[in-house]
């Protein structure tokens, strides 16, 4: 039953094209697709009561049992929180997309297949217990995200955005794979459960830190943390339902999920705390600052997503301190930070999802997404405005919306960190609340810009491309549901806390006893530092917002050359150019250059291995005597070879080559090899004839066409080659490791009935060689025939001309 | 004797390599042919020289020369010849088609 739901998105994706084809003009395909996440949501909701009571479920599906790799799904609080988010927001997004995506114009089958693929992959990521399976699903989310971003593939910006997202997330994915493999090696198991059970082995291992860094690389790239966040704004080229689903509510939280999942393993170490909390808070500041400059609403929301993800990441880092302290008073304080992370994660999904849908509605109804053209939409789109107001104010952290609660808890957490006094926090811990506070001011300002530059001010219909009216009801359903959730959570946060967040927290921080801390979220908790900070945010933010015309222009003039995007582009084109020039440098297309590489490699490797590994020893003891006749023959051969070398005309070179061949056959006579001498003589005659036959057609040998450096290079290499071969042959000749096996073949008469041993070897003992040699000959003959007879197209052209 | 042969082989290899590295196609074919001879001589040499009589069972003298390198070289000679013939005709065709025998000019499109 469980598997049916988990694999439902993949299964139903197969059906989508058929549904699209048969109901093309009657029913929007999205209505069928809507059933999938809805049924998954309902199914997963059934787990909530039992998981809240502390139950966990494990489902194992055999996949590669011989390697111990099985598809293991594990349902606990954390995966259930994510699972319900994925299926719940997924249903709303598909509902929204039914009205957003045109039935007539869009390739809906592609859209819904990719979306379902993504949904299935994401469910797999959060439910997998086997690390390798988790990685598989993880890459599937990258791939489906790539497909969704480039959904309008005819646009250049879509393709570029998709490529960027893929490059960065897959880079991180590979890092994570490496980290997972290290982790698997350390713990000797694939299961996260069992890793947590054998913590001591992992934490004392040498590779503990490298594994952590690799896994964090994956988590940070996926969750768009600093400095890997640059892909997220470009991913806004995707259709708005995709941006809303993938790039605000689910996929970008996959990194956060991994960090939360790995907290029991890595949490408690200072590197983990500093990386997660430090990068998180930098991302928070960077995202909120950059969001201010944006004029495109979607880009603004993208940077705001980056910033909010940084906030959650920072809270998770702070929460990991609880692992360090263990159960106790200090531990409890930081456990609350972990709780805040999960709470804000949920809140962010609600309000950011609704805000993206609002932007989609504005885009859909006005044809514009740039705040410089928008304004005064309050009168024409009251419902959209209300949703935007709720979402925006919640994002800014104002009551009575859920963002307020999680922002208060965030402030409390960073205040606690500044007082913690471990991991070197004593001296610079105070930076945490300061940065958090400043970033919150920026967040407040861009939320105000988002709401009031779009909906407030002058209504200018002449600047908009369409006649503006309120969005259709279907498009409003999903954002309205999300906005209602935003308010409901503010008033009843403890319902959510008790049933969903507490069990999730137990999964993140299993060492903490759930009963030891009181997880009551209260909207009013007395006048304390956090409330004063929020008050300060509102006052300062409001002042800055009213004067924003003056200073925001200064921010927009920030030089392009210093942005992360610019560096990314430079690095991309730079590496491309570098590799191209590198390849062009050695792949010259000249045969001679390649031969030089090959020969040099041959010489260097052989000589150095001879000298370094074996040492050269010569042994001349067994050598035969030299007669005058031999010396004369050798000299004659050298002269013949040099004649070939220096010959200035073809005839001379060919005749000298022939002489060389005949002298080789004379050597065979001396060496008591009559068959060889015979063959060599015949072959040499025939090949000399062949040369002579061809020579009339062949070009004349030219002298002096090669320059001196060219010749010098050739000389050096050829002498080196000759010396290497000589050296090798000399050192090899002196050493016979064992007796040759020739004595066996001397039984040729008994075994093969032949008196000529060489011939017996050729046709009897080793007849296969001869057979294949004959086929070589046949193929060469055919080749020659074809080459001679096939008429060349180019030659015909010449002849026709 | 072996040392002398090895030195001869080295010289032949040098000459062959030099020819292979030159620009003209015909020289390359000549070079390949010379390297072929050198290798054949090297194989024979590595089997030991002048030890005993020719490997014919009718001979009465004690001991034969090593027959295996001879069989190997016999195969090598024939293959060498086949390859030389093919390459030679290939040269002829290339020259007829492209009108040049300069290897530096016979490169891919982007180098023309």
pLDDT digits (tens, 9 = 90+) for A212-230: 999 999 999 999 998 888 8
A652 touches chain B (CB under 8 A): no
How far is A690 from A160, CA to CA, in rounded Å? Answer: 60
How far is A214 from A181, CA to CA, in rounded Å? Answer: 10
The model's confidence at residue A464, banded by pLDDT at 50, 70 and 90, is confident
- A791 CB neighbours in chain B (<8 A) are none
Q: Model ipTM?
A: 0.93
Cβ contact (<8 Å) for B46 and A634? no
Global model pTM greater than 0.90:
no
What is the phi/psi pair of residue A69, to 5°? -95, 110
State residue A680's pLDDT score: 93
- Given phi > 0 = left and psi -120 to 50 = alpha, else beta, which region is A590? beta
Residues 64-93 of B with CB under 8 A from A: 64-68, 70-71, 73-75, 77-86, 88-93
The model's confidence at residue B91, banded by pLDDT at 50, 70 and 90, is confident
DSSP H helices in A547-619: 548-556, 564-586, 591-609
* DSSP-derived secondary structure letter, B64: B
Average pLDDT, chain A: 86
Residue A7: half-sphere exposure toward Cβ, Cα within 13 Å: 9
How far is A600 from A695, CA to CA, in rounded Å? Answer: 32
Q: Encoding tokens for residue A121?
A: 């992959």
Residue B53: strand pairing partners? B64
State residue A136's pLDDT score: 93
- A690 CB neighbours in chain B (<8 A) are 84-85, 88
Q: How far is CA A133 from the centre of its chain?
A: 16
- A792 CB neighbours in chain B (<8 A) are 93, 96-97
- B104 CB neighbours in chain A (<8 A) are 590, 592
What is the phi/psi pair of residue A415, to 5°? -65, -40
Report the candidate in A707, A636, A705, A731 with the shortest Cα–Cα distance to residue B11.
A636
Which residue among B71, B79, B97 places its CB closest to the CB of A794? B97
Helix (H, G, I), strand (E, B) or coil at A704: coil
What would the mean pLDDT of A485-494 be, rounded to a whole number? 87
What would the mean pLDDT of A359-376 be, rounded to a whole number? 84
What would the mean pLDDT of A325-339 be, rounded to a whole number? 81
State residue A390's pLDDT score: 92
Q: How near does any CA of chain A get to the CA of B21, in Å?
A: 6
State residue A515's pLDDT score: 53
Q: Are A29 and A109 in contact (CB under 8 A)?
A: yes
How far is A382 from A469, CA to CA, in rounded Å? Answer: 10
pLDDT digits (tens, 9 = 90+) for A750-800: 888 888 888 889 998 889 989 999 999 999 999 988 888 876 555 555 555
Residues 776-795 of A with CB under 8 A from B: 776-777, 779-781, 783-784, 787-788, 792, 794-795
What would the mean pLDDT of A149-172 be, rounded to a whole number? 92
Cβ contact (<8 Å) for A784 and B86? yes
Q: How far is CA A179 from CA A211, A214, A255, A763, in A?
A: 4, 5, 14, 60
* DSSP-derived secondary structure letter, A464: S
Is residue A108 pLDDT above 80, yes or no?
A: yes
User: H or E element: which one contains A761?
Assistant: none
Residue A89: half-sphere exposure toward Cβ, Cα within 13 Å: 36
pLDDT digits (tens, 9 = 90+) for A629-655: 889 999 999 999 999 888 878 888 889
DSSP H helices in A7-76: 8-22, 29-45, 48-52
Higher pLDDT, A105 or A720: A720
Cβ contact (<8 Å) for A667 and B41? yes
The model's confidence at residue A745, banded by pLDDT at 50, 70 and 90, is confident
State residue B109's pLDDT score: 57
The model's confidence at residue A801, banded by pLDDT at 50, 70 and 90, is very low
**CA-based torsion, A782, A785, A791, A795: positive or negative:** positive
Mutate to test the interface with A, among B40, B47, B92 (most CBs of A within 10 A): B92
Cβ contact (<8 Å) for A740 and B23? no
State residue B112's pLDDT score: 47
What would the mean pLDDT of A420-442 be, rounded to a whole number? 83
Of chain A, the percentage scoring pLDDT greater than 90 comes to 37
Residue A64: strand pairing partners? A69
State residue A89's pLDDT score: 92
The model's confidence at residue B73, banded by pLDDT at 50, 70 and 90, is very high
Q: How far is CA B1 from CA A206, A495, A663, B97, in A?
A: 61, 99, 16, 47
Q: Are B66 and B47 in contact (CB under 8 A)?
A: yes
Is residue A737 pLDDT above 80, yes or no?
A: no
What would the mean pLDDT of A438-445 be, rounded to a whole number? 92
A683 touches chain B (CB under 8 A): yes
A694 touches chain B (CB under 8 A): yes
CA angle A82, A87, A90 (to 5 degrees): 115
DSSP H helices in A610-673: 628-646, 650-670
């Amino acid at each position: 039953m469980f598997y049916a739901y988990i694999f439902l998105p993949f299964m139903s994706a197969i059906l989508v094209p058929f549904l699209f084809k048969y109901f093309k003009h009657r029913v929007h395909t999205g209505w069928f697709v809507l059933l999938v996440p809805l049924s998954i949501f309902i199914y997963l909701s059934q787990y909530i009561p039992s998981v809240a009571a502390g139950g966990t479920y494990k489902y194992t599906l055999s996949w590669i049992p011989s390697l111990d790799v099985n598809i293991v799904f594990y349902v606990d609080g954390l995966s259930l929180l994510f699972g319900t988010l994925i299926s719940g927001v997924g249903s709303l997004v598909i509902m929204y997309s039914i009205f957003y995506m045109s039935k007539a114009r869009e390739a809906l089958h592609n859209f819904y297949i990719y979306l379902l693929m993504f949904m299935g992959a994401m469910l797999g990521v959060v439910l997998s217990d086997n690390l390798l399976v988790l990685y598989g699903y993880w890459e599937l989310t990258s791939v489906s995200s790539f497909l969704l971003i480039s959904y309008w593939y005819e646009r250049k910006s879509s393709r570029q955005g998709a490529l960027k997202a893929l490059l960065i997330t897959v880079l991180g994915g590979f890092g994570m794979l490496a980290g997972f493999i290290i982790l698997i090696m350390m713990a000797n198991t694939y299961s996260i459960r069992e890793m947590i059970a054998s913590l001591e082995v992992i934490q004392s291992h040498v590779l503990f830190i490298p594994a952590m860094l690799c896994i964090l690389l994956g988590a940070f790239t996926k969750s768009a943390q600093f400095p890997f966040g640059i892909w997220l704004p470009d991913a806004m080229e995707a259709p708005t339902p995709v941006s809303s689903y993938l790039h605000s509510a689910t996929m970008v939280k996959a990194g956060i999920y991994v960090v939360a999942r790995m907290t029991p393993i890595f949490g408690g170490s200072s590197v983990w705390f500093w990386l997660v909390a430090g990068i998180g808070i930098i991302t928070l500041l960077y995202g909120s600052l950059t969001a201010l400059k944006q004029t495109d609403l979607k880009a603004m929301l993208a940077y705001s997503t980056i910033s909010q993800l940084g906030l959650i990441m920072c809270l998770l880092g702070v929460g990991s301190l609880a692992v360090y302290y263990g159960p106790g008073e200090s531990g409890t304080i930081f456990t609350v930070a972990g709780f805040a992370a999960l709470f804000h994660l949920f809140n962010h999904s609600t309000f950011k999802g609704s805000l993206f849908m609002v932007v989609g509605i504005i885009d859909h109804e006005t044809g514009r997404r740039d705040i410089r053209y928008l304004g005064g939409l309050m009168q024409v789109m009251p419902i959209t405005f209300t949703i935007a107001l709720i979402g925006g104010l919640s994002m800014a952290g104002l009551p009575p919306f859920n963002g307020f609660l999680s922002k208060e808890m965030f402030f409390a957490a960073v205040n606690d960190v500044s007082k913690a006094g471990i991991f070197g926090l004593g001296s610079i811990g105070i930076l945490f609340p300061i940065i958090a506070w400043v970033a919150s001011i920026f967040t407040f300002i861009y939320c105000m810009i988002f709401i009031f530059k779009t909906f407030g001010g002058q209504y200018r219909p002449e600047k908009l491309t369409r006649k503006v009216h309120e969005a259709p009801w279907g498009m409003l359903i999903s954002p309205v549901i999300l906005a209602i959730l935003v308010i409901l959570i503010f008033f009843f946060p403890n319902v959510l806390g008790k049933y969903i967040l507490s069990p999730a927290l137990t999964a993140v921080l299993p060492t903490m006893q759930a009963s030891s801390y009181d997880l009551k979220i209260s909207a009013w908790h007395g006048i304390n530092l956090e409330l004063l900070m929020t008050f300060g945010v509102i006052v300062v933010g409001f002042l800055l917002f009213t004067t924003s015309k003056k200073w925001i222009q200064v921010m927009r003039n920030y030089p392009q050359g210093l942005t992360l995007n610019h560096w990314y582009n430079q690095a991309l084109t730079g590496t491309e150019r570098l590799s191209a020039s590198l390849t062009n440098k050695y792949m010259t297309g000249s045969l001679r250059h390649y031969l030089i590489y090959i020969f040099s490699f041959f010489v260097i490797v052989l000589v150095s291995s001879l000298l370094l590994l074996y040492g050269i020893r010569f042994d001349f003891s067994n050598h035969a005597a030299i007669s005058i006749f031999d010396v004369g023959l050798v000299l004659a051969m050298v002269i013949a070879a040099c004649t070939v070398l220096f010959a200035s005309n073809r005839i001379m070179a060919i005749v000298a080559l022939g002489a060389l061949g005949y002298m080789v056959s004379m050597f065979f006579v001396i060496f008591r090899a009559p068959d060889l001498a015979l063959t060599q003589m015949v072959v040499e005659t025939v090949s000399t004839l062949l040369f002579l036959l061809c020579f009339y057609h062949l070009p004349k040998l030219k002298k002096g066409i090669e320059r001196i450096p060219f010749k010098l290079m050739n000389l050096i290499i050829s002498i080196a080659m000759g010396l290497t071969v000589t050296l090798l042959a000399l050192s090899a000749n002196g050493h016979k490791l064992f007796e040759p096996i020739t004595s066996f073949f001397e039984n040729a008469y008994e075994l093969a009935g032949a008196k000529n041993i060489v011939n017996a070897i050729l046709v009897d003992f080793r007849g296969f060689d001869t057979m294949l040699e004959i086929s070589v000959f046949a193929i060469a003959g055919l080749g020659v025939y074809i080459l001679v007879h096939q008429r060349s197209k180019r030659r015909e052209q010449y002849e026709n001309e | 004797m072996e040392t002398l042969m090895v030195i001869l082989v080295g010289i032949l290899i040098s000459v062959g390599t030099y020819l292979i590295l030159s620009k003209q196609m015909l020289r390359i074919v000549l070079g390949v042919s010379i390297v072929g001879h050198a290798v054949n001589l090297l194989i024979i040499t590595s089997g030991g020289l002048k030890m005993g009589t020719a490997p014919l069972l009718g001979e009465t003298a004690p001991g034969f020369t090593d027959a295996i390198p001879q069989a190997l070289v016999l195969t090598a000679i024939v293959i060498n010849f086949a390859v030389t013939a093919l390459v030679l005709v290939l040269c002829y065709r290339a020259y007829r088609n492209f009108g040049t025998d300069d290897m530096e000019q016979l490169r891919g499109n982007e180098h023309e």
